[in-house]
Structure 1
Amino acid sequence: MKAGKLFRDTMRASSLGDSDEAARLYAQIPESEIDNYNMFIIAFFAGALGVRFKDDHSLAAIKQFAEEMQIDYRNAKPPVKQLVIEGLIRGMLGEEDLFDEISPEDQYRTQLLAIRKIVGQSPEMQARLDDYLTEAEALSDQWIAEA
């Protein structure tokens, strides 16, 4: 399976809540492609944030989303951290220095949980999931080419 298709299929399963399928597909990603997959996740996360915060990306809206995530994932182990959620979103919206305060592991996990929440609550993203995956693939390819 080509890496781009594998990335898309993995993200599709993850964003729709099929964690078993996402884990099965993730296991097929070659170690040499993991950094590229992580870039793809960041690009898809950016698109999801654009949908969720298109009308209001204020600190209050970000805090509300973080509080909702804590409720939605209240049984998660390890617990979801409100400051990580807020910092990650604010970092994506321009406060990039906040990324320095969040471990790569927390960034990865929080992005996936936030993506799942946003896609699950967005009929638009569900209906146009292939379009969002295509946009994320193009954006991540651009970022990789520029690196």
Structure 2
Amino acid sequence: MRPDLLSDLIRALATGDWDAVDILLAEIGRPGWGGSLYLIGAAFAVAVGDHFGDASTPNDVAAFVSTARAEHQVGDSLPTLEMEGLIRAALGEPELIDNISGETALDVELFVLVYLLRMKNLTPAELDKLIAEAEALVARVPAPAPRQKRSRWRRWWLRRRRHDQ
């Protein structure tokens, strides 16, 4: 397993290098990959925090979700309340993710992450900074126990993220 695989995926998503995205996703999907997707969630949280800041309201989040869904065809297939809940969880309301499936969470995190990265049009240095911050977040969080629910781990991680800002 290449340790920088998810970092490379985030860079490819940010730059719209869809051929690289396809190759990286195929590598992630191979049996025996053994990695975790925590970096995607961490990058999502960093990008959301950078975009919204501390003064956002639930109405700001709802307007953002409405715009993002309207601008992109795939956004229509994602559940609005779950999108709002994940964003608001990253902004300090982690209890909103309790009933969101891992699959839905990953779909929403990827959609919002790509939307924000493409909207911001980050320089390579800014993108490296975002990825480094996300990697640092992941490094500080203990891995969940095998039977621990992902949502419990995510609540802890999101609280920690909010506390560290």
Q: TM-score range by the shorter chain?
A: 0.7 to 0.9
- Whole-angstrom distance in 2 between the partners of 1:88 and 1:123: 23
- Whole-angstrom distance in 1 between the partners of 2:144 and 2:75: 36
**After the TM superposition, which parts of structure 1 deviate over 6 Å for at least 4 consecutive aligned residues?**
none
1:32 corresponds to: 34
2:17 corresponds to: 18
- Partners of 2:69 and 2:75 within 8 A in 1: no
- Output aligned runs, 1:68-107, within 5 Å: 68-73=67-72, 75-76=73-74, 79-107=77-105
1:49 corresponds to: 48
> Offset of 1:134 from its aligned partner?
1.2
Question: SS of the counterpart of 1:13?
Answer: helix
1:134 corresponds to: 132
Specify every segment of 5 or more residues in structure 1 that has no aligned partner in the other structure, as ranges: none
Quickly say closer, same or farther: Cα 1:17–1:32, change in 2 above 3 A: same
**TM-score scaled to structure 1, two decimals?**
0.83
The Cα RMSD (Å) is 2.3
**TM-score scaled to structure 2, two decimals?**
0.75
Quickly say closer, same or farther: Cα 1:51–1:39, change in 2 above 3 A: same
Question: SS of the counterpart of 1:32?
Answer: coil
2:2 corresponds to: 2
- Whole-angstrom distance in 2 between the partners of 1:13 and 1:124: 12
| Structure of greater relative contact order (alpha carbons < 8 Å, 6+ residues apart) | 1
For these two proteins, the number of residue pairs brought into alignment is 142
- Whole-angstrom distance in 2 between the partners of 1:125 and 1:89: 24
- Whole-angstrom distance in 2 between the partners of 1:62 and 1:91: 11
AA aligned to 2:137 is L
AA aligned to 1:120 is R
Quickly say closer, same or farther: Cα 1:23–1:106, change in 2 above 3 A: same
